[in-house]
Chain A
Amino acid sequence: MGAGKELRTEEMVLNVGPQHPSTHGVFRLVAKIDGETITEATPVIGYLHRGTEKLGESLNYTQIIPYTDRMDYLAGMTNNYMMVHTVETMMGIEVPERAEYIRVIAMELQRFASHQVWFGTYLLDIGALSPFLFAFKDREKILGLLNELSGARLTFNYMRIGGVKWDVPEGWLDRVKAVVDEMRVSIEGYHQLVSGNQIFLNRVKGIGVVTQEDAINYSLSGVPLRSTGIKWDLRKDMPYSIYDRFTFEVPTQTSGDCYARYVIRMEEMTQSLNIIEQALKQFPQGGEIMGKVPRMIRPPQGEAYTRIEAPRGEIGAYVMSKGKDKPYRIKFRRPSFANLQILPKMLKGASMADMVAILGSIDIVLGEVDG
């Protein structure tokens, strides 16, 4: 190149997905890259849109519950609860204590299993193969427990308005206790394998930083919000079900990077186990599993919105009722969808390798993003 003549370079538009191993499903990202640096990223979503909300309008309330399983298919229990909780609130149904305890144990097991999937796939994104298999092998035990409870491994369709479908099987609580103890050992193993690895730390520290202001402006919730130092967990701050009876910590970090999100999720797994242990201790001896529910579920005319803390953030259901057995309008606040909105901002200036680390740290489930 002569003086004054510069090497001509141009940006390249790179289509990441919808078939790409690190987009966790059918997510597509149109990235403009300059060398390996991303200058602009546009998420394209909707490949898995099934119109759950519209479908709900032609179903009665019990029939909607299995559809919620299929939104965030890694956390069916919390989704079930989100739906029944709204209707119970509208109708003022009292849920028996035994059912509440079963629900809490199921939901915390679910949170743990969901974070395990995240842990495994995140490390796979970063390039480590084995944690994925370790995490999935351990998760199998939890899925086994939930299978015993509901008869399904992922799409449970377990909770009902006013209670739960089945009572706990014989000896189930003891098996939960045993699995909780095993999981404590597993978490220790995950930490030993990954948490101190310098290559891992280099890949996640200071990457994908979210400021507190941005987190609030983009309406982040769950782990991405807590990673910026805001202590906000609905289980603690607006207790639903019987969460006010347990003592647990809400882990927060201040750095707002991928590492902070990693640390929080790992700590949340331990906290979930703490909650399960307390719930097992307090578990009532006998009692009903279904409350007094009218044969036809017709919430009174009006609207209601309740939200709970799902593994991925705040999940909520808005139900508008005209007094019929089917909702007039139903709307879900899906945390994966809300948390994903900050992605273009986080990706700006990041490298291709950071892209997968950042996307993975948000922890999206495409079934939930697309609704």
Chain B
Amino acid sequence: MGQYLEQPLSWTNGLIFAGAAVALLGIVLFFVMYAIFFQRKILGWMQLRIGPNRVGPWGLFQTVADVFKLLLKEDIIPKKADKALFIIAPVLAFVPSFLVLAVMPFTENWHFADIGGGLLFYLAISSLTVIGVITGGWASNNKYGLIGAMRGAAQMISYEIPLVLSVVGIILMTGSLNLIDIVEKQQSMGVWFAFAQLPAFIIFIIAQLAELGRSPFDLLEAESELISGYHVEYSGFRFAFFMLTEYVYIFAMASLTTVLFLGGWSPMFGLDFIPGIIWFALKMGAIVFFIFWLHATMPRIRIDQLMKLGWKVLIPLALLNIFITAIVKTAFM
């Protein structure tokens, strides 16, 4: 895919490129539908119940039915809401979540933009979503929504820092911000960054959960305190957009983790005959499962404890990791 970007723009490659983007959107939407389905199934199994099994065979069309329900619902905008902001907020939240996939290399050939600062692009764009969250919470003129949005802003901005710092070690070892280079470095080293950069991996996983707002850091939704946080006033397809954002981010974050720490598309145990895209899907699936697993197990952390963990534990640890990586690199490589 990437090679089309390097050619001069013509109708042919422009259409191919646009078509590929639509195809990716289709894949992502498919993923979201079945991620929600599997989340419910996994939660069901972990909680000794069956989970959705009514709509379609094994309940496979449950989410499809849910999405149709959301799309057909009446579009409610609260009277005292800030109309313009209320309408634009779900879009502000969703666009960056899909945009980050532009730089994601699924295999060495299956990717869109192969830009030098791919990782930087991802981190920069993904932090834009917080604007959508704050706008949504503020515009809906609801106190719970406002508290949820404030928490969301504090949480996402605080955890951006350890997230970025934790990958600096990888950047140092690779010497590049390009995601394909990072995977190739892991292939040439013969070891995943998950092991070579173990502290960074742990910090990244924790910060990633906080960025995603998933359990145990699901404070911005916190249904037992804030009912559902920033999107409490949203319903119908606007709510669906927020929901979509959340799961597209899971897709994106799990992909990024796979690329950065789990060797991307490179095969395991020398099983080269299995295509890279399958390996990628398997590793990503494992991360997604891990996120759902935590959702079933963990209580929710409190906002001040979350801040303390971020600023007092994760950031110093990430800095220490950078320091040690730098020393090792200058001394031995």
Given contact pairs A127-B215, A129-B295, A203 touches B301 in the complex (Cβ within 8 A): yes
Main secondary structure of the interface of B (DSSP, over half): helix
Closest to B215 in A: A127
Q: Judge if B305 is at the interface, Cβ distance under 8 Å.
A: yes
Within 8 A of A (CB), among B281-333: 295-305
Is A69 an interface position by the 8 A CB rule? no
**Is B73 on the interface with A (CB-CB < 8 A)?**
no
Contact partner of A353 (CB less than 8 A), chosen from B47, B222, B227, B298, is B222
User: Does A197 reach chain B (CB closer than 8 Å)?
Assistant: yes
User: Is B83 interfacial (CB 8 A cutoff)?
Assistant: no
Q: Is B250 an interface residue (CB 8 A)?
A: no
Q: A127-B215, A130-B47, A351-B302 are in contact. Are A356 and B225 (CB under 8 A)?
A: yes
Centre residue among A123, A129, A351, A356 by max chain B CB count within 10 A: A129
Query: Which B residues between 3 and 55 are near A, CB-CB below 8 angstroms?
Result: 43, 46-49
Q: Count residues of A near B (Cβ-Cβ below 8 Å).
A: 30
- Pick the interface stretch among A14-22, A103-111, A248-256, A277-285: A14-22
Partner of B225, one of A134, A200, A202, A355: A355
- Which B residues are in CB contact (< 8 Å) with A356? 224-225
With A130-B46, A353-B225 as known contacts, state yes or no: A199 contacts B301, CB within 8 Å: yes
A100, B223: Cα distance in complex, Å: 44
Question: B43, B143, B222, B304: which contacts A127 (Cβ < 8 A)?
Answer: B222
Cβ of A59 within 8 Å of any chain B Cβ, yes or no, is no
Q: Give the contacts of A1-37 with B (CB-CB under 8 A).
A: 12, 14, 20-22, 36
CB-nearest residue of chain B to A193: B297
Q: How many residues of B contact A (CB 8 A)?
A: 30
Alpha-carbon distance A20/B228, docked complex (angstroms): 11
Quick check: A127 and B216 within 8 Å, CB to CB? yes
Complex CA distance for A351 and B143, rounded to whole angstroms = 15
Decide: A22 and B225 in contact? CB cutoff 8 A. yes
The answer, yes or no, to whether B153 is at the interface (CB within 8 Å) is no
Report which of A20, A125, A202 forms a contact with B301, defined as CB distance below 8 A. Answer: A202
Across the interface, B299 reaches (CB within 8 A) one of A21, A133, A200, namely A200
Question: In the complex, given contacts A128-B297, A133-B49, A199-B298, what are 9 additional A-B residue pairs having Cβ atoms less than 8 angstroms apart?
Answer: A22-B225, A36-B151, A127-B298, A130-B43, A199-B300, A203-B302, A353-B300, A354-B302, A356-B225
Sample of 14 A–B contacts (CB below 8 Å): A14-B143, A126-B300, A127-B215, A127-B222, A127-B299, A128-B297, A128-B300, A130-B297, A133-B49, A197-B299, A199-B298, A203-B300, A352-B225, A354-B302
Binding site for A on B (CB under 8 A): 43, 46-49, 143-144, 147, 151, 215-216, 218-219, 222-227, 295-305
